[in-house]
Amino acid sequence: MSKEKLSAAELQLLISHYQRKVKKAGKKIVSLEKKQAKMRNKIEKLFALQNESETETEKPAETAETTESKPVIEKTAVAEAPKMAVEEKAVKKPQTVKEEAPAVEPVKEEKKEPLSVKSKVSVSSSGVKRPTTPGQWNEYVISVIAKNDRPTLTREIYEAALHDFSFSEEEMLMEERSIAKSLNVLSAKTGDLQKFKEGKMRGFYYCLPQWFYASGEMKKMYYKRIPRSED
């Protein structure tokens, strides 16, 4: 059978295909030559090391032969001088005078401070100055009621103090007494506050005197501000 003739395009494809293979083969040859050169360098280094080791082993151990044994010089024992017998005289020990220890005073037990003293810390953990005297508590109670601008319950003042001065539970138990005393003094003695009670509620609302008419009736503006859920 006669061979089929390839077209010009097919011939060009074959030519480019074989050219690529030739390039790849050339790259491989170059890399192999580099590897060959590296291996030769390593072999030469190994030969050099082998020659050095052989020359070192061929050297005679001259150092051991040349070093003559030095004669051992015997040291003559030096006669020790006879020790002189020294008579030890009995030394009288001084009599120690017993000193009488001073009388130890009985240690006085520190009296435990009551809770009221321990709780009087003038500055809170947040740096706010706390009331520590009755006068300061009076001013604080009035300021809380004035700030609320409405009739205020005792427990609302407790909550305000707990929040403003960061009291602990133990401290707050003591300070509640201080607040109660201030409310009593301000409403019953000085007249700076006025009590107001509605229906059968427990306790009182504390108010500023100017929130009332001369007749004793509370002004409607303040009466409407009373929180009805808190009674």
pLDDT given at position 9? 75
pLDDT given at position 119? 41
pLDDT given at position 179? 96
Listed ranges 6-10, 105-109, 128-132, 143-147; the one with the highest mean pLDDT: 143-147
SS3 state at 103: coil
Residue 10 has pLDDT above 80, yes or no: no
Radius of gyration of the chain from its Cα atoms, rounded to whole angstroms: 56
CB 140 within 8 A of CB 147: no
φ, ψ for residue 15 (rounded to 5)? -60, -50
Q: What is the dihedral of CA 157, 163, 168, 174, to 10 degrees?
A: -20
pLDDT given at position 109? 56
Residue 81 lies inside a defined structural domain of this protein: no
Residue 213 lies inside a defined structural domain of this protein: yes
pLDDT digits (tens, 9 = 90+) for 46-85: 888 888 877 776 665 555 455 455 555 555 444 454 454 4
Average pLDDT over residues 155-165: 94
C-alpha 129/C-alpha 121 separation (Å) is 9
pLDDT digits (tens, 9 = 90+) for 14-23: 898 899 999 9
User: DSSP state, 199?
Assistant: T
Residue 157 lies inside a defined structural domain of this protein: yes
pLDDT digits (tens, 9 = 90+) for 179-224: 999 999 999 999 999 999 988 888 899 999 999 999 999 999 999 9
Characterise 106 by phi-psi region: left (phi > 0), alpha (psi -120 to 50), beta (else): beta
pLDDT given at position 14? 84
Count CB neighbours of 154 within 10 A: 16
Please tell me which residue, 128 or 69, carries the higher pLDDT value: 128
Domain that holds residue 147: 122-223
* Lowest pLDDT segment from 93-102, 128-137, 169-178: 93-102
C-alpha 141/C-alpha 161 separation (Å) is 9
pLDDT given at position 104? 57
Enter the pTM of the model: 0.47
Q: What percent of the chain has pLDDT over 90?
A: 45
pLDDT given at position 142? 97
Residue 66 lies inside a defined structural domain of this protein: no
Residue given tokens 């503006």 in the structure block? 221
Residue 161 lies inside a defined structural domain of this protein: yes
Whole-number Cα distances in Å, 213 to 195, 197, 219, 221: 14, 16, 6, 12
Residue 182 sits in a domain whose CATH number is 1.10.10.10
Residue 90 has pLDDT above 70, yes or no: no
By C-alpha distance, which of 164, 92, 82 is closest to 123?
A: 164
pLDDT given at position 231? 42
Please tell me which residue, 133 or 96, carries the higher pLDDT value: 133
Average pLDDT over residues 152-180: 93
Domains contained in the chain, number: 1
Residue 1 lies inside a defined structural domain of this protein: no
